């Protein structure tokens, strides 16, 4: 039995999902069909007036202005602020769809030339997919810039995707260039907050997941009491030969290995309920909601795991010095500040840290903590420091119990920097 459990946990939290699937019900299935039929629709295209057709265009822009450049690429100035000698311009760029990518420009002294890179800037494999933005003049509330398209042939995300595929031949890398539009062999399902795109053959799995997304999202938002809605969120189902599970990153959420999830348990093809019955989604949605906050890796994974398998789909029981996972024997807490890739034991120990935090301080303080974290969005501060400063909570006891050392804060900060722009599984 011990071996089996280890194997299951080694597969990650995805395994939990299979156990949580409910039994099939015809009524539920009918509801699902209705719901899916209602939710399949075309994504609206954001309309910008007066597209510019010249390759190079000079424009004076202020906060709130939008401009459609050649190639259907639109720019919106979402914020403009000046701090001493630094001008911060935050722009969104759109490629025909309704969802922009933030593009900040920091101008320190003399105007410089900036590049607006399309797709994932960390994978800047071809600089031609960009606009050159040359700042000519800055006048407090507005700025004048010369915008030059560097690729004339580019007309859609699919063009970007196709070209990426022609050079890289790797769908898992290239799909990010067409985040909101299916490419060849893919279909899309849309619900109120999510667009789910995946391979045609995984349609039944996608239908199940699309309906689950909204239920799980509502429950998660209620539990963490987050008011702001997440922006329309892209989810990609990616085929995978040797792994399954989920992750959240700069390009939305990805769910791996639908064929494994389908074949593993036939009920996953059609089973549905009208409530959140999927711990994988519960876990990933916490990541989606908490992105950008100063949660270093163990606290981030711990929080997502705490919500998904302690609170929402309870199968992990935290004890004073360890935890019980399903019917397994008790496992002692893992050391949390180890660095490197987190193991399942650290996910579970991190979850128990939060479990104890809630038990010791109460749910209301937990909610305050979530609020403090959300307000500190983008700050470089360790999770424990932030909570300690904002709420005066002492972690002396927790330090020894959960294996924090005197170097913990430093390690956490390093871990946080290391994971800031990475996919969180
Ligand atoms: Zn996670």
- Model pLDDT for residues 64-116, shown as the tens digit of each residue: 787 766 555 667 777 777 665 555 666 555 543 444 455 555 555 444 555 55
Question: Ligand 1 mean position to 405 CA, how many Å?
Answer: 23
Which phi and psi (to 5°) does residue 88 adopt? -105, 120
Q: Is residue 424 part of a domain?
A: no
pLDDT in tens, 173-205: 888 778 888 999 999 998 889 999 999 988 888
Question: Ligand 1 mean position to 59 CA, how many Å?
Answer: 43
Are 347 and 334 in contact, with CB atoms under 8 Å apart? no
Range of the domain at 127: 56-149
Q: Is residue 331 part of a domain?
A: yes
Total number of domains constituting the chain: 3
Q: Is residue 405 part of a domain?
A: yes
Question: Ligand 1 mean position to 308 CA, how many Å?
Answer: 10
* Domain limit, last residue, from 250, 267, 287: 287
Are both 80 and 196 inside the same structural domain?
no
Question: Ligand 1 mean position to 298 CA, how many Å?
Answer: 9
* Domain limit, last residue, from 227, 252, 287: 287
Are 216 and 392 in contact, with CB atoms under 8 Å apart? no
Question: Ligand 1 mean position to 184 CA, how many Å?
Answer: 30
Q: Is residue 256 part of a domain?
A: yes
The DSSP call for residue 370 is: H
Q: Is residue 13 part of a domain?
A: no
Please give the biggest Cα pair distance in the chain. 70
Which residues make beta-bridge pairs with 258?
A: none
- Predicted local distance difference test score (pLDDT) of residue 105: 56
Question: Ligand 1 mean position to 395 CA, how many Å?
Answer: 23
Among 46-55, 60-69, 280-289, 302-311, the least confident range: 46-55
Question: Ligand 1 mean position to 97 CA, how many Å?
Answer: 28
- Predicted local distance difference test score (pLDDT) of residue 402: 83
Q: Which residue has the higher pLDDT, 417 or 22?
A: 417
Q: What is the rounded distance in angstroms from the CA atom of residue 352 to the CA atom of residue 361? A: 14
Q: Is residue 171 part of a domain?
A: no
Question: Ligand 1 mean position to 294 CA, how many Å?
Answer: 15
pTM score of the predicted model = 0.69
Q: Which residue has the higher pLDDT, 405 or 287?
A: 287
Question: Ligand 1 mean position to 157 CA, how many Å?
Answer: 29
Question: Ligand 1 mean position to 22 CA, how many Å?
Answer: 23
Question: Ligand 1 mean position to 77 CA, how many Å?
Answer: 33
Q: What is the rounded distance in angstroms from the CA atom of residue 109 to the CA atom of residue 132? A: 18
Q: Which residues surround ligand 1, an ion (CB under 5 A)?
A: 301, 304
% residues pLDDT > 70 (the chain): 61
Are both 379 and 319 inside the same structural domain?
yes
């Amino acid at each position: 039995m011990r071996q089996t459990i280890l194997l299951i946990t080694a597969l990650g939290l995805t395994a939990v999902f299979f156990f949580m699937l409910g039994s099939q019900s015809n009524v539920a299935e009918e509801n699902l069909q209705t719901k899916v039929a209602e939710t399949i629709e075309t994504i609206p295209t954001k309309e910008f007036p007066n597209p510019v057709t010249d390759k190079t265009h000079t424009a004076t822009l202020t906060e709130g202005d939008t401009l459609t450049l050649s190639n259907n690429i639109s720019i919106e100035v979402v914020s403009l602020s000046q701090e001493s000698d630094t001008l911060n311009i935050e722009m969104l760029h759109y490629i025909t769809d309704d969802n922009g990518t933030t593009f900040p420009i920091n101008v320190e002294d003399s105007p410089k030339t900036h590049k607006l890179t399309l797709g994932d800037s960390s994978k800047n494999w071809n600089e031609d997919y960009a606009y050159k933005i040359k700042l000519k003049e800055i006048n407090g509330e507005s700025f004048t810039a010369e915008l030059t398209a560097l690729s004339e042939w580019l007309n859609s995300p699919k063009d970007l995707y196709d070209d990426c595929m022609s050079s890289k031949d790797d769908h898992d890398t290239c799909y990010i260039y067409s985040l909101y539009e299916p490419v060849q062999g893919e279909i899309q399902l849309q619900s109120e907050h999510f667009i789910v795109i995946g391979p045609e053959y995984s349609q039944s799995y996608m239908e199940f997941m699309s309906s689950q997304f909204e239920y799980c999202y509502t429950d998660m938002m209620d539990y963490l009491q987050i008011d702001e809605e997440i922006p329309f969120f892209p989810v990609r189902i990616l085929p995978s030969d040797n792994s399954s599970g989920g992750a959240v990153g700069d390009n939305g959420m990805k769910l791996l290995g639908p064929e494994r999830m389908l074949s593993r348990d036939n009920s996953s093809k059609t089973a549905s309920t009208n409530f959140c019955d999927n711990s994988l989604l519960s876990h990933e949605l916490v990541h989606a909601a908490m992105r950008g906050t100063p949660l270093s890796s163990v606290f981030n994974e711990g929080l997502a795991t705490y919500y998904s398998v302690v609170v929402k789909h309870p199968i992990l029981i935290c004890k004073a010095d360890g935890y019980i996972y399903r019917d397994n024997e008790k496992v002692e807490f893992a050391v949390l500040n180890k660095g490197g890739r987190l193991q399942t034991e650290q996910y579970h120990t991190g979850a128990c840290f939060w479990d104890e935090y809630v038990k010791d301080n109460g749910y209301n303080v937990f909610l305050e903590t979530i609020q403090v974290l959300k307000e500190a969005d983008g700050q470089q501060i360790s999770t424990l420091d932030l909570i300690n400063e904002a709420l005066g909570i002492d972690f002396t006891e927790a330090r020894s119990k959960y294996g924090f050392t005197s170097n913990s804060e430093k390690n956490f900060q390093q871990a946080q920097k290391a994971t800031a722009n990475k996919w969180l599984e």
